[in-house]
Chains A and B, each alone.
Chain A
Amino acid sequence: MRKFAALFLSLTLVCGLAACGGGGDNGESSDGGSAPEVQSDEADEADTADEGGSGEGVAINVIAAQYGQNTTKWWDDFVKDFTAEYPDIDLKVEVESWNDIYTVVNTRISNNDAPDILNIDVFANYQADDLLLPAEEFVSKETYDKMYPAFLEQSDVDGTIWAIPDLASARALYYNADILKAANVEVPTTWDELTEACKAIKAYDSKIYPWGVDMTTDEGQAAFAYYTWNNGGGFVDDDNNWALNSAENVEAIEYAISLVNDGYTNSDPANDTRYDLQDMFGAGQVAMMIGPNSIPTYIADGGYSINYEVAPIPTNGGNDSVSAGVMDRFMCFDNGYSDAEIEAIKTFFDFFYEDERYSEWVLMEGFLPATSTGGEILAEADESMASWVDIVGSCNFYPTAKTEWDDVKQGVINVEQQALLGGNVQELLDELQAEIAE
């Protein structure tokens, strides 16, 4: 009898486990099990009503990137407000960390369970597989017209815009004013001045790293952008073709590596992430670094108290200073929607981009707006924000609309790290260019 009881329990356990792992039709991937999913009580009730056969409810499933500690709470409030105003729309928002979001999305796509709306940084790979809807099909004209045209162009493939920007950040030079003053140097505007400033700071205090460099797997592509864009080069040429091994790029990377080899930078650029640099900058151990507009928040939250200021990124060869912009997006997967579902998705975006709500979204984690109306509101509210809004409106962006971007991004990081180990920059960039052109 005992044997039968144990056998029965074992089989029950196995069946139970199998049932747990077998979900998937309802859009709740088992991979996303650990992710916080935001759904209001009202939405639960609406769900029950749908199952009851009212037939009027429409469900929208969103996967959103987790920008920081406030993101999940913000979406939670958003869903509550949205559901209160549109009870017929069952909105579910799954917030995923940047470490997990690509895995979760790709797994869901390969299981034919793509989300309706995705908030992430890249879109070209999904577009290349014909998985997306053109932006103008899922966003109302009124909302679409709010976007900065320069931002929309970043999601242009063959004349069609496939994604809309949700927020942006821009980069600039941060410097410790006290250290520069003590070392008796001016804020550098050119590479020559930068080298001289590094020399002077090193002479003033050999324990301080004059210049912060991040060439890690996480953000080495940003270092490539800072130096090449400010030397007249970049990832692509004027015809938007890959131009990774241009003379300007070779000179730019060689200059960055020379700063490391001359001992003017942090000791381990291949492993010191931007956050390590920000901590060292906050602690007064790094005198100058290029970083995002969120650094003031980071320094304040970290309890650091240094006297720092912001300036344009130093350039070479008489080029204008170019700031690097980073932009994230919303895209809509083509899941064969009815007219009612498309209207619900448009309603979602109209609600999200309402000026006041959108300003809150942008300020939530210290980012910059991607809409002109949002920019105006923020510039009026905060003077320091006004200069950043100007910068972000004119900065360069990574060519993420090209499907080779993933390879280029990892490729330039590899080039930088090989160069740090003594590799020849020209040869490395030639190899990368040939590999990408294949």
Chain B
Amino acid sequence: MKNKFFRKIEPYIWILPSIILMAVFILIPIIFVFRMSLSDVSKAGIIKGFSGFANFTKVLNSSAFKLVLKNTIVWTVAVVCLSTILGFMLALILNNEFRGRKIARAIMVFPWATTLVIQASAWKFIIDTDYGTLNTLLLRLGIIEQSVNWTPTPEAYFTWEIACGIFVTIPFVTFCVLSGLQSIDSTYYEAATVDGANYWQKLFQITLPLVKSSLTVSTVLNIIYVFNSFPIIWTITKGDPANHTDTLVTYLYKLAFYNGKQGQAAAVSVIGFMILLVCSSVYMIYTLRKGDD
């Protein structure tokens, strides 16, 4: 009897530590942020009382928010899509047998293993007009005669930030897809070859369907990581000039710690949370349901 009861509750005991950890470090802070977003918070951080949706109204009515939201969507879509395509291509290459494959795989890890702040600082150093290494290199090679301003507009800056984001995201996609590729039985390809399938038919009819679950995982995780990414943009431009390179995360950081508007910052955080929740859920449900079909 005792043994039976223990068997029944055993799974719950095993997941209890995870639940406690998640409650303490994830759930409670989320509840605090929701509470703050609905509160009147003084600049010193004291909650003065319930303010309804006043913080949300102020945020949604500000002209900067629309620009920042647009930037966030462009940033997330560009980084996730391009890094997924490039990462997938790299995984296909790394899945082939060739000399130095192990070294190539090890090199792939570097951008992933380096701190984002260091990566972003390096990119900033490379593209700088006055002391950047890109200009120095091109000058030395005689390709240009005088330094080029690689960041003449906010859009140019944002493009470089996206490029940096893609560079650091590719390894994660590559390794996710690579793990999927290695689990594909080679007999599928042999059978397809016997049936006269060409490279593209094998790619779209065998490879893609079979690595779909790996791609789904990497895409969903990347949407969350990239959407919430702070260090790259903060290190390179701090969202300047005039919010033109801000995303929701850098914008809410400025609201909270530069403007002292913690209530509004919490509201931006909640909006970001809801967007992520909806996007990730829709994508996962759609992809997994399609997979079941």
Contacts and interface: CB of A to CB of B under 8 A. Distances in A.
Interface string A27-62: 000000000000000000000000000000000000
Contacts of A216: 238, 240
A280 B130 CA distance: 9
Given A268-B151, A406-B260, A410-B259, A10 B17 contact: yes
Contacts of A409: 258
Interface stretch (B42-50, B171-179, B202-210): B42-50
A406 B157 CA distance: 27
Nearest to B47: A110
B20 interface: yes
B43 A128 contact: yes
B242 interface: yes
A217 B45 contact: no
B257 A109 contact: no
B46 A406 contact: no
A160 interface: no
Contacts of B258: 217, 406, 409-410
Q: Tell me the interface secondary structure of chain B in the complex.
A: loop
B133 interface: no
A219 to B, nearest CB: 12
A421 B25 CA distance: 42
B180 interface: no
A53 to B, nearest CB: 34
A403 B13 CA distance: 52
Contacts of A406: 43, 258-260
A14 B16 CA distance: 9
B262 interface: yes
A107 B46 CA distance: 9
Contacts of B237: 271
Interface string B39-66: 0001111110000000000000000000
A417 B154 CA distance: 11
A7 interface: yes
A410 B44 contact: no
Nearest to B236: A271
Interface string A1-32: 00000010011011001100100000000000
Contacts of B130: 266-267, 280, 285
Given A11-B17, A266-B130, A417 B241 contact: yes
B254 interface: yes
Interface string B259-275: 11010000000000000
B242 A417 contact: yes
Nearest to A435: B62
B239 interface: yes
Contact of B242 (A7, A266, A268, A418): A418
Interface centre among B130, B254, B259, by most chain A C-beta atoms within 10 angstroms, is B130
A105 B138 CA distance: 47
Contacts of B13: 7
Interface string A399-424: 00001001101100010011011000
Contact of B46 (A14, A109, A285, A418): A109
A280 B260 CA distance: 33
Contacts of B239: 217
Contacts of A304: none
Contact of B260 (A125, A217, A218): A125
B14 A7 contact: yes
A412 to B, nearest CB: 12
A17 B21 CA distance: 8
A432 B102 CA distance: 58
- 8 closest A-B pairs by beta carbon, nearest first, are A106-B45, A270-B241, A125-B43, A417-B241, A417-B242, A110-B45, A14-B17, A10-B17
Interface of B: 13-14, 16-17, 20-21, 24-25, 42-47, 129-130, 146, 149, 151, 154, 157, 237-244, 254, 257-260, 262
Given A11-B16, A18-B24, 7 more contacts: A10-B17, A102-B257, A126-B44, A267-B149, A268-B129, A421-B154, A421-B241
